Amino acid sequence: MGTLLYKTNLMRGKRNLITDVPGIKVGHVTLSNHAIQTGVTIVLPRTDNIFQNKYAGASQVINGFGKSTGLVQIDELGTLESPIALTNTLSVGTVAQALVKLMLKDNEDIGTTTGTINVIVGECNDGHLNDIRGCHIKEEHVFEAFEHAKEDFEEGAVGAGRGMTCFGAKGGIGSSSRIITLDEKEYHIGSLVLTNFGLKQDFTYHDLKAEEMETVEKGSIMMILATDVPLDARQLKRVCRRMPISLGRLGSYMGNGSGDIAIAFSTANTFPHYAKEEIMNVKTLHESKIDKVFRAAIDACEEAIFSSLVHGESVIGRDGHTTLSLKEILANQEKDTGENKDENK
């Protein structure tokens, strides 16, 4: 069957998850019941109040066939002020409303004595396996994912990734992290992805046999990048712009129907909602050293995508539609190859 290990010469974090960046937690709620194969995943950037204590943030729309919310303001102001949620395409509104309610609960000033809140919700279309028209995600699912967010979390066909397909195999949630050294101190770069893209015959890591050659790329991917390296919004944007390299290494050409979006934030500097001083002192990485970040971020994102496949499990969903795990596809191919050899003896 070949190896399902991702090889890297860079140093991984302790968990090899986005939560290796201190302060970050991830929560899932998974719905799996016959035609209902969907869920919610939420990334908490910090344990205290993200609205009152914002982080530098940026995004990049690589191919804009998507319906994410909150990207306009994050790119205009360069700050992240809410958790980041992931779900299916037709549940973005419900999840966004739930995030708003969570933020209102902890911030009585929102909408009264100060401005409103910019919540971030990313999506992919899980309609092949999931009854997406049923809009089965409810606000309580978001509240539950938020409440149970933790540092050690599952990957694969869980949360928002339950109904997703990647390179013709079962995709979903994947994560990875890298450690780099700057000024003799270790820093972390983590990635979490929601994978729902790629054609089976294009996958570079394994020769996946397609019964019929697919010609239309209709999938999407959400890429979340987090780091404790002191990067400003402009530098984070530069990191986001390089994420297509991770997709290309694996075989994606980011087709017309693919929504490919990267969101990045740095936990190194806090930007208070209410200004205590008119001038802020902010640390930033020297531009001549940013290649270390580029390389680690691309590597972590690529492994996160691969990890979503390695951790995937076969799912039977709407109308009997079935997506096999990468492991099962490779095992079946190996079995077929062995049988063909026996017939030719």
| Catalytic machinery residues | 220, 258, 260
Spatial contact of 8 and 153, defined as CB atoms under 8 Å apart: no
Return d(Cα 142, Cα 173) in angstroms, integer. Answer: 16
The partner residues of 25 in beta bridges, in order of sequence, read 44
Rounded distance between C-alpha atoms, residue 217 and residue 49, angstroms: 39
- Please report where in the chains the tokens 């933020």 appear, as a residue: 103
Residue 294 token pair:
């580029």
For the chain, state the CA radius of gyration: 20
- Which among 97, 90, 95 has a CA at the least distance from the CA of 142? 95
Q: Are 155 and 172 in contact (CB under 8 A)?
A: yes
Contacts of 64 (CB under 8 A, 6+ apart): 259
Residue 252 near residue 202 (C-beta atoms within 8 A)? yes
Burial class (CB in 10 A: 0-12, 13-18, 19+), 98: buried
Of 274, 41, 46, the closest CA to residue 159 belongs to 41
Rounded-to-integer distance, Cα 218 and Cα 317, Å: 19
Token couple for 260: 């490919």
Q: Map tokens 């309610």 to a residue.
A: 101
Distance (Å) of CA 193 to CA 182, 204, 251, 321: 26, 18, 16, 23
CA 284 to chain centre: 25
Nearest residue to 178 via CA among 64, 280, 293, 263 = 293
Question: What is d(CA 299, CA 82) in angstroms, rounded to the nearest whole number?
Answer: 26
